[in-house]
Structure 1
């Protein structure tokens, strides 16, 4: 395997673009090479096989889509209440809107994992790790609610993200008085977290 970390990272990011635009069936080494603007055959020098590339995409997406530590630090200066949890969920929606391609690629990874047991095991492990880390962060930061509430927020936000990425505008007007997505996020937090 070729050892050029910058080129490898650029190829993985190009693969994310291909996955988001073309789906898993369109994710070929040739397509990644074209998206990265490198000579045909370059990707095959960096990744042993397509599964290797998919695992690299999984790892890259989890770093790429993570919250900004500086933003988290700023948010943690606020009182530990529903408003802060809402701010964290709005930060997540902002990241979704800021890296739509990354989140679409993650949805495509989920679909591909449903058909590939080895990828399913790896992706399930990384997603569960993210959920467990979210629960630990939430409870360790003395935010209202516990593991059950964080899990319900995770599920609610995942549904909202799916709708916003795949069917923008479909939820407009569905919840009277709640704008999409900000008002819906606030309602989710209000309904899931215990009253203060």
Structure 2
């Protein structure tokens, strides 16, 4: 069986090589095995797929992580977890979801700026940055190179403006705002010791 560290290194290598790769979304062990047999090189869970499979409108973090562990155990492929908003609004609690995702055996995960609040579906920019910063710190503290993806969901929820009036914190100036963050070491071009990436 491939170790989690080896899976993490393989997943990072997929992101660092030239060109793109396709990462499909299994929703259970059976689809994970099928996709692995088809030759895919990595898998990413789908919270929507889990909700549809269970006939629910929404699923919580515990179910997302339980599903992730099932998919991780189904093959030797690297797995990244769709963590939605990491099950919490507060940055520290959101960061805990990154640690919990790694405990399932996954080697990557996402954090998004969709709040789940119908009236204010996208977190304020400063709160979104704080959440990503906390997630980055949690990912960097892990014993594996955990691939963190920060998803900008504004276009999916009717927020088409870029909020140019809302400047980023000093350590993040120069980063392209609202861009989904990529896997790998996450850092600002202008703040090499911390913060959020602009890769």
How high is the TM-score relative to the length of structure 1?
Answer: 0.34
More strand by share: 2
Rg (Cα) greater in structure: 1
More helix by share: 1
